[in-house]
């Protein structure tokens, strides 16, 4: 099998881990792989919390309902969709472009796109701008082919969740390629876990928690089942 596909096909949601320490060099490679995932407008609208120190990990595991993968993992990675970092991210990219010697035209283009992005993605107080933009886009859409940008806060969080999920999958495949195992989890108390991590209810939403470690030899992995290809794919 193709070397890149191997970890992809071998990855399983592992429900019990043995206690191993994940070396810093592996942690960094895994997190670096996560952020290499594509993201909408390259905004990278997420944050990862790598929880490994023992009292914090125990608390986080408890907030994952004490699930076995959480309770036995070497680390818990909390993946957070973050819509509060957009302005800082575009400023950081702009600074990087200036430092890297991009042409004035390219920098101006990026500034313009970032400005449009800010206007499009800003829901404003009580979602007021969102409602106005929704009406404008709906009207324009009557005679023009166009996509609808995320307008209200829940749409924005859903938008950020897409990019966050892609980064999560990269993270899991990278862990697998480096000889570790993972289990993605959405069984957690989002309110308490957010509070524990000091997240903002306005800008952050936990997308998933990924338990990471080395599969316990005592864990018997059930066979993997998938719907047949023709049930999920339409070739047109």
Ligand X SMILES: Cc1cc2nc3c(=O)[nH]c(=O)nc-3n(C[C@H](O)[C@H](O)[C@H](O)COP(=O)(O)O)c2cc1C
Residues that bind ligand X (CB under 6 A): 12-13, 15, 67, 69, 183-187, 208, 224
Smaller CB distance to ligand X: residue 90 or 205? 205
Least distance CB 102 / ligand X (angstroms): 38
Least distance CB 70 / ligand X (angstroms): 8
Least distance CB 16 / ligand X (angstroms): 10
Q: Are the CB atoms for 185 and 64 separated by under 8 Å?
A: yes
Least distance CB 222 / ligand X (angstroms): 8
Residue nearest to ligand X (CB): 187
Smaller CB distance to ligand X: residue 34 or 151? 34
Least distance CB 14 / ligand X (angstroms): 8
Residues in contact with 219: Cβ distance below 8 Å, sequence separation at least 6, in sequence order: 14, 15, 16, 17
Smaller CB distance to ligand X: residue 130 or 184? 184
Smaller CB distance to ligand X: residue 55 or 222? 222
Smaller CB distance to ligand X: residue 145 or 232? 232
Q: Are the CB atoms for 18 and 215 separated by under 8 Å?
A: yes
Smaller CB distance to ligand X: residue 198 or 222? 222
The radius of gyration computed from the CA coordinates of the chain, to the nearest angstrom, equals: 21
Q: Are the CB atoms for 155 and 45 separated by under 8 Å?
A: no
Which residue intervals of the chain are DSSP H helices? 5-10, 24-35, 54-63, 68-72, 86-99, 104-121, 128-141, 153-177, 190-197, 229-232
Residue 135 has which token pair?
């009406």
Least distance CB 43 / ligand X (angstroms): 22
Q: Are the CB atoms for 164 and 45 separated by under 8 Å?
A: yes
Listing DSSP states for 186-214 in one string gives --S-HHHHHHHHT--TTTEEEEEEEEEEE
3-state class (DSSP) for residue 78? strand
Smaller CB distance to ligand X: residue 13 or 26? 13
Residue 193 has which token pair?
């876990």
Residues in contact with 94: Cβ distance below 8 Å, sequence separation at least 6, in sequence order: 107, 110, 111, 114
Least distance CB 28 / ligand X (angstroms): 24
């Amino acid at each position: 099998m193709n070397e890149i596909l191997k970890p992809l096909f071998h990855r399983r949601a592992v429900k019990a881990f043995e206690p191993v320490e994940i070396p810093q060099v592996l942690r960094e490679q895994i997190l670096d792989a996560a952020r290499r995932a594509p993201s909408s407008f390259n905004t990278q609208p997420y944050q990862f919390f790598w929880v490994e120190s023992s009292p914090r990990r125990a608390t986080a595991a408890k907030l994952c309902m004490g699930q076995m993968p959480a309770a036995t993992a070497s680390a818990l990675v909390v993946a957070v969709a973050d819509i509060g970092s957009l302005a800082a991210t575009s400023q950081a990219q702009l600074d990087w472009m200036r430092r890297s010697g991009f042409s004035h035209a390219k920098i101006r283009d990026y500034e313009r796109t970032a400005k449009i992005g800010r206007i499009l993605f800003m829901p404003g107080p009580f979602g007021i701008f969102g409602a106005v933009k929704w009406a404008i886009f709906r009207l324009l859409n009557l005679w023009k082919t166009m996509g609808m940008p995320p307008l209200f806060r829940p749409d924005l969080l859903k938008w950020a969740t897409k990019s966050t999920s892609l980064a999560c999958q990269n993270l899991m495949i990278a862990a697998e390629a480096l000889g570790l195992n993972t289990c993605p989890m959405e069984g957690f108390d989002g309110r308490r876990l957010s509070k524990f991590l000091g997240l903002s209810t306005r800008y952050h939403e936990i997308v998933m928690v990924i338990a990471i470690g080395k599969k316990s030899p005592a864990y018997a992995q059930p066979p993997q089942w998938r719907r047949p290809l023709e049930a999920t794919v339409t070739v047109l």
